[in-house]
Amino acid sequence: MKLQPDQLDMQSILGYGPGWIGIGGKGGTEKIERSIVLGSRGEKFDWLCSRFEDLRAEHFERLAETRPELVIFGSGSRLRFPPPAFLGSLMAARIGLETMDTLAACRTYNILAGEGRNVVAALLIETADSPPE
């Protein structure tokens, strides 16, 4: 019997720790040390915020533009919910949002993307030089 290594058909989160995540897919692996958006259909772009307090409605509008069925919001090192006023674009497009800490969001994204779901993970990666809350 010939054994083949697992082939990643989608972007997966391969590892994570304080201030970073590792992603892999058909293009190889990469260590990310900034907030990022990953999608099961290949979306990948910087999410321009390094602290929860930096988030604005525009961050969530950009997520709505990707048209997923679900957004998984990783709120950083602890669970924090965005203000409801920021979520209007997601609600108008009938896109679900689940909020959890970033490490839980990484695990949840892998499970749902692995099931073939159209999911986007918006992951807040808090940097060491971010001022404390």
In a domain, 10, yes or no: no
Range of the domain at 103: 33-123
Q: What is the mean pLDDT of the chain?
A: 89
Banded pLDDT at 6 (limits 50, 70, 90) = very low
Banded pLDDT at 99 (limits 50, 70, 90) = very high
Those residues whose C-beta lies under 8 Å from the C-beta of residue 24, and which sit 6 or more positions away, are 8, 11, 12, 14, 30
In a domain, 112, yes or no: yes
Do residues 123 and 83 make contact, with C-beta atoms less than 8 angstroms apart? no
In a domain, 79, yes or no: yes
Residue 108 pLDDT more than 70?
A: yes
Closest by CA position to 35, among listed 13, 24, 51, 22: 51
Residue 133 pLDDT more than 90?
A: no
The reported pTM is 0.87
* pLDDT of 5: 40
Banded pLDDT at 129 (limits 50, 70, 90) = low
| CATH number assigned to the domain comprising residue 96 | 3.40.1230.10
Do residues 13 and 90 make contact, with C-beta atoms less than 8 angstroms apart? no
pLDDT in tens, 41-58: 999 999 999 999 999 999
In a domain, 28, yes or no: no
**Mean pLDDT over residues 85-112, rounded?**
97
In a domain, 2, yes or no: no
Banded pLDDT at 110 (limits 50, 70, 90) = very high
Per the structure, the count of domains in the chain is 1
